[in-house]
Amino acid sequence: MKNFPDGFYWGAATASYQVEGGIENNDWAQAAQAGRVPPCGPACEHNSRYEADFDLAKELGHTAHRFSIEWSRVEPTEGVFDPVAIAHYRRVLTALKARNIEPFVTIWHFTLPLWFAENGGFERSDAPEIFARYAAFVVEELGDLCAHFSTMNEPNVFGSNGWLRGSWPPFKRFAVTDLVSITNSGKTYESQADRGLRPLFTYFRVMKNLARAHNAAYEAIKKRAPQTEVSIVKHVIVFAANWNPFNKLKAAVANYIWTTIFMNRVKNHTDSIGLNYYFYTQFGDNRTWKKTDMDWNFAPEHIYDALMRLAKYQKPLFVSEAGLADHDDSDRAEYITKQIAGTWRAMQDGADVRGHLYWSLMDNYEWALGFEKQFGLIKINYQTQERSIRPSAYVYKEIIEHNGIVE
């Protein structure tokens, strides 16, 4: 039996733009209007169906749920906050509490209000102050209903897709990036990016500003609500190597660039760290990997390596996302079981993991890839908005009920 500690959080995650529907006032909606990414439209109508969706999460045994606040709803105009949007998120939090589901709130998950994006977004030198003002407002308004806040989701993915690959807003592509492929960027719309050498330098600036923004938000929140847990959600790619010393060097450099640089900038301003794990790649690897629907290596057990990498920062950790796209649900149960086994192993080796949130509770808008990729424990029929629970969700439920894996 692979047992987890009492009170370990089990659940799933979503993000505002990917599930809510009806969001028109952000950079992704604008990009969709311009034909640069697929339209998101009503998405899963989670904005009005959240109660029923949380009933399903409850039925599946979940004790925690991660979701994000849509910045463009809360601050639709610079410096003007919308009480109606806040009232909505208070109802969402209350609905979770009523079901005894512990909320984990991400303050910002990729999408930017138009006013901010159109004025340079995170390229701006005053972006950290603008972000910190928004983050502090959110915690001030919602902090009595939620104990765990993450400032931002996956800064490295946001930066690299926006300024290196140019496949996400603001579509700036570093010309040399044709050589590498990073995560869920999508291919269809890439050709419309502005190519050049300058995006590389802008990318460095953006990455620095994101770290500054996280740190400023951390301080602003702590000033008002010192007890609130504030974390960063970090996407970790595990770069590994075979025996070859040259490959080992390549892996060390890649890990340093993707994970260490950013973590070093924020490590003194975070109470805990959320891990988003999807990727394992080995330099000098001749194996033929089984692939997920995203064409990513099927390597759930290597969540172990990602957790051990973050354990170095000696903070409580939680799996804020991990999962796979699997349209016919043929591999999801195995994947979930193995990623939980990998998490358990990391805990035996000292990683202080407090929870596991599968990505995602339901199918949703997979960014530049639209609605085709299906990550959900719950399947969505986008024509009828009908929900159906996939068989793998019950395998996860059994693990939750045993608080571990029965062998």
Tell me if 70 contacts ligand BGC by CB under 6 A: no
Of 37-45, 153-161, 266-274, 306-314, the segment contacting ligand BGC by CB under 6 A is 153-161
DSSP 309-375: HHHTT-S-EEEEEE----TT-SSHHHHHHHHHHHHHHHHHTT--EEEEEEE-SB----GGGTT-S--
Q: Which among 334, 338, 244, 327 is positioned nearest to 293, based on CA atoms? A: 327
Least Å distance, CB 362 to ligand BGC, is 12
Q: Bridge-partner residues for 358, per DSSP?
A: 12
In the window 171-210, what residues touch ligand BGC (CB under 6 A)?
Answer: 183-184
Q: Tell me whether residue 115 or residue 278 sits nearer to ligand BGC (CB atom).
A: 278
Q: Which residues contact 204 (CB under 8 A, 6 or more apart)?
A: none
Tell me if 306 contacts ligand BGC by CB under 6 A: no
By rule CB under 6 A, what count of residues binds ligand BGC? Answer: 13
Which residue from 116, 168, 174, 359 is in contact with ligand BGC, where contact means CB under 6 A? 359
Tell the residue number behind the tokens 């349209």, with chain if given. Answer: 327
Tell me if 366 contacts ligand BGC by CB under 6 A: yes
Q: Tell me whether residue 18 or residue 343 sits nearer to ligand BGC (CB atom).
A: 18
Residue sitting closest to ligand BGC (CB):
184
Which residue from 27, 53, 305, 321 is in contact with ligand BGC, where contact means CB under 6 A? 321
Which residue from 57, 96, 157, 380 is in contact with ligand BGC, where contact means CB under 6 A? 157
Tell me if 335 contacts ligand BGC by CB under 6 A: no
Tell me if 154 contacts ligand BGC by CB under 6 A: yes
Tell me if 167 contacts ligand BGC by CB under 6 A: no
Q: Tell me whether residue 177 or residue 276 sits nearer to ligand BGC (CB atom).
A: 276
DSSP 13-27: E--HHHHS----SBH
Q: Tell me whether residue 13 or residue 266 sits nearer to ligand BGC (CB atom).
A: 13
Tokens standing for 192?
């419309």
Strands 404-405 and 2-3: antiparallel
Euclidean distance between CA atoms 135 and 131, whole angstroms: 6
Least Å distance, CB 183 to ligand BGC, is 6
Q: Which residues contact 123 (CB under 8 A, 6 or more apart)?
A: 202, 205, 206, 209
Q: Tell me whether residue 50 or residue 108 sits nearer to ligand BGC (CB atom).
A: 108
Tell the residue number behind the tokens 């973050």, with chain if given. Answer: 310
Of 35-43, 150-158, 264-272, 311-319, the segment contacting ligand BGC by CB under 6 A is 150-158
CA 310 to chain centre: 16
Residue 30: strand, helix, or coil: helix
Tell me if 15 contacts ligand BGC by CB under 6 A: yes
Q: Which among 407, 325, 403, 381 is positioned nearest to 43, based on CA atoms? A: 381
Least Å distance, CB 153 to ligand BGC, is 5
Tell me if 276 contacts ligand BGC by CB under 6 A: yes
Least Å distance, CB 121 to ligand BGC, is 18
Q: Which among 168, 161, 164, 126 is positioned nearest to 38, based on CA atoms? A: 168
Binding site for ligand BGC (CB under 6 A): 15, 18, 153-154, 157, 183-184, 235, 276, 278, 321, 359, 366
